[in-house]
A and B are shown apart, each in its own frame.
Chain A
C-alpha cells in the first residue's frame, strides 16, 4: 500500500471483561453510540426490543447482543468482536464474558489486545473478578490497562469513593506485572466521562475514556529489537520470469530487517545475507513487525516452513524443554503422559507435559502446590519436552515468539495456551 495514503490512522485492539451486572455491555453500547458508530437500523432494532421488554429508555446494552442463546439468557457466551472508528484511531473491541468458567474466552480476547478495559462497580470496589481480570491482563502481557470505575452516578460522583477504589486497585496490582494503569470515573448508563466530559466530576482532571483510548501511546507495543522471521511457506513460481526464484514468506515477529543484513537460519545454522525483501508493489529496503513480506537470501540453502530467519548476532533460545504458564482450555483434563501437538510460530512438534510445577488461584494469586490436577480454565506453570527444538523468546520479551498452543492429536482441538517463561 502506498505510504502516502491519506489514511493516517493507527489501530488499537482492546479487550473488555466483565460479568452480568457490572455494566460492560452498557459501556460498550455507550461508547459505540456516543462515538456515532451505531447505524439507524441497528438502533431501531434495539429500540424495538427495549420497547417489547417494557423499558422506557433505549437499552444500549442490547447493541452487543449476539447469538440466540445470549439474547434469551442475557449472557455473553463467546468472544465477540466489535469495531468503531473516530477521526484519530480505528478500534477493535474483543468483548469477552467475565464469569470464571469463561477464563478461556478472556485469555483468547486478551491474546491480541494492546489494552485491557477493566470495569469496577464503585460501590463494590475491587472484588474477586477484578483480580481475575487484572491477573489475566498481566499474564497475557497486555501493555496498557484502563480501569473504568463505573456507576459513579450511584455514589453522587463522590471523589472520595473514587479514590478509595483507585487506592484499592493500586495496592492489589502492585503484585502484578503491569506497566501502565490508568483510572477513569464513569457512568456508562448516563455517559459521564465515556465519550463526553462529565459536569459531575469537576475534581477529575484526566481525559474521558475515549480520549484515553485515542491518545495512549501504542507505538512501542511491538518488539523492534530482536529480529525474528518465522517462515510460513516457500514461494516458488516456476515461471519463466522467475525461474529460480525461492522466496520465504512470513510475518515478521520482531525486529527490523534490512536488505544486506547478515542472518542465520534456524535450525540449520546456515549463515547468509538478505538479498531482497519483496512485495507485490515492488522491493522494499526494510521491513519490521508485524509486516507480512517475502525474503530472498543470497545463498541457495534449504529453508522450509517452521524455520526461523534471525539476525546472526541476536538469536532466540533453541530448546526442547520449554517452561510456560499454561491456561487449560478444554473440557477434558490433560491425560497422564499424553502427547500433544505444539504449535509455536509456524513451527510444529509433538510434546509431552513433563511436570506441573504449581497451579494458580487466579482470585487470590496464591500458588497451589498440593493439587496439580488441571481442569478447564485452570492456569498452571508447566514444563514440556518437545520432539524437535523450538526457537523462542520469553513471552515478556515477545508475544509472538513467546506464545504457543497445544492441540490434542485425537480430537484436533486446541486444548491449551502457553506463555513461555525464561
Chain B
C-alpha cells in the first residue's frame, strides 16, 4: 500500500478541510455561485465535505441580468438536485434602486456594478463568510490572496495588511459588520479544475463544450450574439464552432474556436493552450491592475 496522495487528491482534501472550517467558524456563510466551472467544483466539494448531510449553506448568485440562458437553467437544476437554498442579488435591482448607474460608452459592462450588488447582498443577508471559486493562478493580484481573506466593514480588501496564514490553521475571527471571503480552491489551476471535473464526472453547463453559435469578433475574441449586445459598425454576425473557457456576463465573455466537444478533448485543449483563460475577459483588460483595483473595492 502506498500512503501518498496524488496531487488532485491532496487539493481535494485541502478544499474539503477549508469548507469544514468555514462551517465551524462562521454563523452565516454562503457559496458564491456564478454557474461557472469553478463555483460548480466548489459546490461539488461542499457536498463531499458534509456528506451524508446536505450542504449546510445557501448558494448565492450575483445576477448581472446579462446571463447565458444555459447558466440559469443549469443553476436551477443544480439547486433542485442538491436540495440547497438559492439567494439572488440582482444588479438590475441595484440599478433600479439607484444604488449604481449603468455604464455608458462603447465598452460599457455590468461587471464592475456587481461589486455594489454583492456587498449589498452580503450586508442584507448578514453574511459573514462568502465562499468563492477564485484561484490564485488566475491573475496576479489573486496570487496574493489568502484562503481566509478578511474584508473590513466597507467590504474592502487591503492586500498590504493581510493576516498571516500559516500551516492549515485559519483565523476567521471578525467584528460585527466585517466578513471573510474564503477560497477553498486557491491552490488549483485551470488544468486541475478540468482534470477534476473529468475524474469526478461533474456536470457542467453545455457552454464549456464546443458548439455552434452566432458570434461577432470584438476585442480579439468571439462575443456571443444576444439581446444585450448591439452590433457596431463593421461588425458582422458569424456562425462558429466555439466554446467558452470562463463564463461571466454574456456581453463580455468571449469564446474560442474549438472542436473540443468532450471533457477529454477539453483537458487536451487546456493542456495545449497558449493563452490564459482570462485573456478572453474584457473586464481584465482595462488596465494592468484592474483586478487588484476591483478586488480592493470588494469584487469577487
Contact = CB atoms under 8 A, between A and B. Distances in A.
Given A78-B162, A251-B13, A279-B51, A85 B174 contact: no
Nearest to B21: A232
Interface string A75-117: 0011111110100011010000000000011011001100000
Given A1-B199, A251-B17, A329 B164 contact: yes
B32 to A, nearest CB: 21
Contacts of A286: 1
Given A399-B167, A405-B166, A305 B144 contact: no
A233 B169 CA distance: 15
A250 interface: yes
A162 B9 CA distance: 40
A291 B4 CA distance: 10
A155 interface: no
B171 A67 contact: no
Interface string A236-262: 111101100101011100001000000
B173 A412 contact: yes
A39 B275 contact: yes
A66 B143 contact: yes
B211 interface: no
A83 B171 CA distance: 25
B98 to A, nearest CB: 31
A85 B47 CA distance: 28
A92 B169 contact: no
Nearest to A79: B144
A400 B20 contact: no
B3 A288 contact: yes
A222 B2 CA distance: 12
Interface string A264-291: 0000000000000011100000101011
B136 A83 contact: yes
A14 to B, nearest CB: 13
A66 B144 contact: yes
Contacts of B53: 235-239, 242
Contacts of B58: none
A343 interface: yes
A396 interface: no
A232 B14 CA distance: 13
24 contacts: A1-B9, A5-B6, A7-B6, A7-B8, A11-B10, A39-B275, A41-B276, A42-B276, A67-B140, A67-B141, A67-B289, A77-B159, A79-B144, A83-B187, A111-B166, A112-B168, A237-B53, A245-B52, A251-B168, A291-B9, A403-B166, A403-B169, A405-B169, A405-B171
B23 interface: yes
Contact of B144 (A67, A222, A346): A67
A139 to B, nearest CB: 12
